[in-house]
Amino acid sequence: MLLSIKDTFEDMSREAAKLIADRIHRKPSLVLGLATGSTPLGLYKELIRMHKEEGLSFAKVTTFNLDEYIGLPRTHPQSYYYFMWENFFKHIDIDRRYIYVPNGMATDIEGHCEWYENEIKRLDGIDVQVLGIGANGHIAFNEPGSSLGSRTRIKTLTEQTVKDNARFFKSTEEVPKTAITMGIGTIMEAKEIILLANSTSKARAIKEAVEGPIMAMVPASIIQMHRKAYVIVDKAAASALTHQFNG
Ligand code: GLP
């Protein structure tokens, strides 16, 4: 695991964007795993800039998003599909046919989850997976207690996650209580992982993920087992770490 502590959110975002741009240059048909939330917004902004100003092309890139709320159509402003479209996809030259986001309106959710896993396999797996982290240590919607070997499936959100995500909805009641999420086993099969975190609200989760024991109660701690994981954080998110060194 490579830990990189940056001064600011912008520095953190730039470092992650550089890494992804490098992988796209090496393999234009990169399979890229993407996350939602406020954390990767700076990364998407920087990748858009690189596309517009430096000619970084996503034309052959395939993307797989980590998760989606159940019951929200793609046109709902709080659906993750809508989020991705507004904050990233509509600004770059990605081919719509190569965008995968779980469908929260699927009639056969279990069948859909199986199909999603098979599509990842068909494309020889995810090359680079971007992750954020929940304040309770969750990754994607794998809440504390999730099996560390889990695959894409339905998960019920914890009260804390519903509360954390309520800021995007009119009220807590409107936040969907279930979601489709890639499993921890699915995420761990990505060839490289980039975990991003900023602000003091993530300091405890980062400490537990990076320095704590590996356990299902802190899903992000499994990243310690990955052979090529980059943890890129700002100073605030690193503030609770005992070992504050880069490398
Ligand atoms: C949600 C998403 C996660 C994300 C987390 C943190 O629960 N499912 O993938 O990492 O929120 O979000 P934020 O980056 O806004 O703190």
Concatenating the DSSP letter of every residue in 91-114 gives GS---GGGEE---TT-SSHHHHHH
Beta strands in the chain (DSSP E): 2-6, 31-34, 62-65, 67-69, 99-100, 128-131, 153-156, 178-181, 192-197, 229-234
136 is catalytic: yes
**pLDDT at residue 222, as a whole number:** 98
pLDDT of residue 61: 98
What is the structure's pLDDT at 164? 87
Please give the pLDDT value at position 197. Answer: 98
Catalytic, 103? Answer no
Q: Is 91 a catalytic residue?
A: no
Compute the distance between CA of residue 33 and CA of residue 218 in angstroms, rounded to an integer. 21
Which residue's structure tokens are 């929200």?
72
Give the other-Cβ count within 10 Å of 179's Cβ: 25
Atom of ligand 1 nearest to the CA of 181: 8
Query: What is the reported pLDDT for 247?
Result: 62
Ligand 1 center to 72 CA (angstroms): 17
Q: Is 1 helix (H, G, I), strand (E, B) or coil?
A: coil
* Domains of the chain in sequence order: 6-232 (3.40.50.1360)
How remote is the CA of residue 196 from the centroid of ligand 1, in Å?
10
Ligand 1 atom index nearest CA of 40: 14
- Kindly state if the Cβ of 88 falls inside 6 Å of ligand 1: no
Question: What pLDDT sits at residue 244?
Answer: 82
Q: In the chain, what is the straight-line distance between the N-terminal and C-terminal CA atoms, in Å?
A: 8
Of the residues 68, 143, 192, 208, only one is catalytic, namely: 143
pLDDT digits (tens, 9 = 90+) for 117-132: 999 999 999 999 999 9
Q: Whose CA is nearest to atom 6 of ligand 1?
A: 134
Distance (Å, rounded) from C-alpha 207 to C-alpha 221? 9
Low-confidence ranges of the chain (pLDDT < 50): none
Amino acid identity, position 163: K
Please indicate whether residue 35, judged by its CB atom, sits closer than 6 Å to ligand 1.
yes
How many Å lie between the centroid of ligand 1 and the Cα of residue 96?
24
Ligand 1 contact via 133 beta carbon (within 6 Å)? yes
> Catalytic residue among 46, 68, 117, 136, which?
136
- How far, in Å, is the centroid of ligand 1 from the Cα of 138? 8
